[in-house]
Structure 1
């Protein structure tokens, strides 16, 4: 019985820590080593976003919602080098994230600015909060 309880506790801890990033007061820090060409989805206080490395090595971040389809609460999925809207089916090249969608509007994964500091990708909590209306 003790072994079962211990196993449940360990599995719960692994589940709760998956997809988490370090919080440093006013920002989230995601280790650059954790970012790959496969999108990783995160959530902070109910606000969802993803991080992915484009084929050219650049790091792309975006809210897991857009200004048009956010009401559906369906977000995006990755298919190869594209992010696909799970509501309308539009396809967006990962390499274009953070370029054409910086002003908002339209069905693009919502822009989420970041910086790099040392070996971490830094995302301001205030920038995350700006996307709250989508969720």
Structure 2
């Protein structure tokens, strides 16, 4: 009787191992599909020949710094995205500032919350949308600084900046925290 019980346990363990292998294989397949789906959108975007680089170069603005803080003049923000490059502790990073169609000023880091470590997870403007250069996802200006998480520009919420009548100020300490998002930013492969 004990022997039968041992055999039954072994058969039960084999079935559980087989189920676990199947679940693992399905999970890995789904994960791979999600990752390649994000990258394939960028490939189809690239093959269309619409890079948008000229538009970004024209709209890159200089900003002042106060003790290492990023200071963005409100007067320079319009419905066309402005890109504010900065170097913090040897890491290049960039902030986007834009006014949406209702006049709300929005800020975000110029990196995608999902694609940031791909080397191509940054945005360029095309018309009235920002396009991730890795996955090709598009975002209206009204969507910037709205969501945290997902494949969209990394928001800089109100608690992470000071807005007065003339400027938006983002502290150097907050910018230092964000350098991890830019360690592999705009890397050519």
Q: Which category of TM-score, normalised to the shorter sequence, fits these structures? A: 0.7 to 0.9
1:23 aligned partner: 65
TM-score (structure 1 length as normaliser): 0.76
Which residue of the other structure, out of 91, 95, 114, is the alignment partner of 1:49?
95
> Matched residues in 2 for 1:88 and 1:58: separation?
26
Contact 2:112–2:154 under 8 Å retained in 1 = yes
* Structure 1 or 2: more helix by fraction: 2
Bigger Rg over Cα: 2
Alignment partner of 1:99 out of 146, 162, 166:
146
CA distance in 2, matches of 1:49, 1:67: 14
Equivalent in the alignment of 1:112: 156
What is the Cα deviation at residue 66 of structure 1?
A: 1.8
Q: Distance in 1 between matches of 2:113 and 2:100?
A: 23
Higher RCO (Cα < 8 Å, 6 or more apart): 1
Give the aligned partner of residue 129 of structure 2.
82
- SS in structure 2 of the partner of residue 131 of structure 1: helix
Unaligned runs of 5+ in 2: 1-59, 183-189
Equivalent of residue 179 in structure 2, options 128, 132, 135: 132
Confirm or deny: 8 A CA contact 1:62 1:98 kept in the other structure. Answer: yes
In 2, the alpha carbon distance for the partners of 1:77 and 1:41 equals 9
Query: In the TM superposition, what is the alpha-carbon distance from 1:26 to its structure 2 partner?
Result: 5.1
Q: What root-mean-square deviation, in Å, do the aligned CA atoms of Structure 1 and Structure 2 show? A: 1.7
Unaligned runs of 5+ in 1: 1-17
Greater displacement, 46-55 / 108-117: 108-117
Q: Does the 8 Å CA contact 2:147/2:155 hold for their aligned counterparts?
A: no
Give the distance between the partners of 1:76 and 1:84, measured in 2 at CA: 5
Aligned residues: 115
Structure 1 or 2: larger strand share? 1
